[in-house]
């Protein structure tokens, strides 16, 4: 590229950001020595930064962040919903943990059987002769 | 004479760190540009001043003994973390917005250009303010990484190595973000008012 032909803004930006190949960078550097137009193009980002100088004055006109106030009806509604949910959990908890006939599901089969037939076992404890009789006639298999 | 932008001596002594004259000079120089950067990120003058002040104090209290050339990347790294903290806090506040009301609830933040339009002043100043507003709006349209790379490289004049250290990314990433930022800014600004920029 001759010194008369200007580089495109894309090429200048590539050089400015450090992404240009060594060959392109050398060409641009040679060209920049004699071309005020491309020098100005190279300073595009710098110029923008300098033009931001009035920003603090503009910031003085920014709307202030408004104070936040509590929306009590929503807080109350959320509180009621939480309490209702907690109550529902507490009430339904025994139904979830209980198995058939109100027997807790985590008991061994023998204990579950004893709990379910507690009346029979009470009667059996009062009539030990029936237990002996039952053992004598028990099926050996 | 103490520079108007240097750290207040009461705060520095509270931070229990000897602020050398070089460090004081650095603080004074960097404060204006850092505030500009924080303003673009936070859109709140008080919050921007706070994060810049906090970052300077942390630099003075924790890193005053580091070599001078390490101050810029360290400072911008701290500032970047502070800005991220503010963004996180705002996000958390938004989660609980259901329980809070404020006037800004249903309104999008005004653009910088619209703020410049309402600012009163001499015509030349107004034109400058409008131009600054347009540039700030264009910067706000970039991705956070592109904006950071652009501001650190162009406004601060940090090297690629220092920018990479401040942003905690690779040097290649800095180059790519910077390049994309320049391209996008040209598109945004030159398409609008090509003669003005």
pTM above 0.90, yes or no: no
**Confidence band (pLDDT; 50, 70, 90) for B16?**
very low
Q: Do B99 and A75 touch (CB under 8 A)?
A: yes
* Residue A65, min C-alpha distance to chain B (Å): 8
Q: Does A19 touch chain B (CB under 8 A)?
A: yes
Binding-face residues of B in 50-79 toward A, CB within 8 A = none
- Please report residues of B whose CB lies closer than 8 A to that of A14: 179
Q: Which of B103, B128, B154 has its CB closest to that of A54?
A: B128
Q: Do A66 and B102 touch (CB under 8 A)?
A: yes
What is the distance between the alpha carbons of residues B165 and B132, in angstroms, rounded to a whole number? 28
Average predicted confidence (pLDDT) for chain B: 82
Question: In terms of C-beta density within 10 A (0-12 exposed, 13-18 middle, 19 or more buried), how is residue B68 classed?
Answer: exposed
Q: Which of B118, B150, B175 has its CB closest to that of A18?
A: B175
Q: Please give the helix or strand (H or E) that residue B101 lies within, else none.
A: strand B100-101
Q: Please give the helix or strand (H or E) that residue B19 lies within, else none.
A: none
pLDDT tens digits along A100-139: 555 566 678 888 888 888 888 888 888 888 888 877 776 6
Q: How much is the pLDDT for A99?
A: 54
Q: How much is the pLDDT for A53?
A: 86
**Residue B33 in this model has a pLDDT that exceeds 50:** yes
* Mean pLDDT, residues B9-31: 71
Q: How much is the pLDDT for A6?
A: 87
Q: Which of B44, B101, B178 has its CB closest to that of A17?
A: B178
Structural domain boundaries in chain A: 9-60, 104-141
* Mean pLDDT, residues B113-119: 70
Phi, psi of B100 (to 5 degrees): -125, 150
Q: Which of B43, B45, B112 has its CB closest to that of A60?
A: B45
Q: How much is the pLDDT for B162?
A: 92
Instruction: Assign residue B53 a region (left: φ > 0; alpha: ψ between -120 and 50; beta: otherwise).
Output: alpha
């Amino acid at each position: 590229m001759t010194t008369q032909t200007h580089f495109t803004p894309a090429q200048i930006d590539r050089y400015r950001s450090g992404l240009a190949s060594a060959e392109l960078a050398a060409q641009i550097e040679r060209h920049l020595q004699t071309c005020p137009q491309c020098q100005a193009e190279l300073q595009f980002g710098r110029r923008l930064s300098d033009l931001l100088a009035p920003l603090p004055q503009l910031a003085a006109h920014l709307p202030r962040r408004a104070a936040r106030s509590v929306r009590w009806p929503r807080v109350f509604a959320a509180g009621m919903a939480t309490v209702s949910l907690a109550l529902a959990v507490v009430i339904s908890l025994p139904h979830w943990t209980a198995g058939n006939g109100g027997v807790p599901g985590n008991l061994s089969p023998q204990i579950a059987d004893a709990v379910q037939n507690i009346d029979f076992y009470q009667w059996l404890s009062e009539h030990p002769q029936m237990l002996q009789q039952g053992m004598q006639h028990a099926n050996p298999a | 004479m103490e520079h108007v932008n240097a750290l207040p001596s009461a705060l520095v002594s509270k931070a229990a760190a000897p602020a050398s004259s070089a460090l004081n000079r650095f603080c004074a120089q960097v404060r204006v540009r850092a505030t500009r950067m924080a303003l673009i990120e936070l859109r709140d003058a008080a919050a921007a001043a706070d994060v810049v002040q906090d970052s300077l104090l942390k630099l003075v209290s924790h890193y005053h003994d580091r070599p001078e050339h390490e101050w810029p990347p360290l400072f911008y790294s701290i500032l970047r973390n502070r800005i991220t903290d503010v963004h996180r806090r705002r996000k958390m506040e938004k989660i609980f917005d259901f329980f809070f009301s404020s006037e800004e609830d249903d309104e999008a933040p005004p653009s910088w250009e619209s703020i410049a339009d309402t600012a009163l002043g001499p015509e030349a100043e107004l034109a400058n303010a409008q131009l600054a507003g347009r540039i700030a709006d264009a910067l706000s349209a970039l991705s956070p990484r592109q904006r950071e790379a652009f501001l650190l490289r162009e406004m601060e004049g940090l090297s690629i190595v220092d920018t990479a250290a401040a942003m905690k990314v690779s040097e290649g990433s800095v180059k790519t973000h910077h390049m994309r930022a320049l391209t996008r800014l040209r598109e945004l600004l030159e398409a609008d008012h090509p003669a003005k920029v």
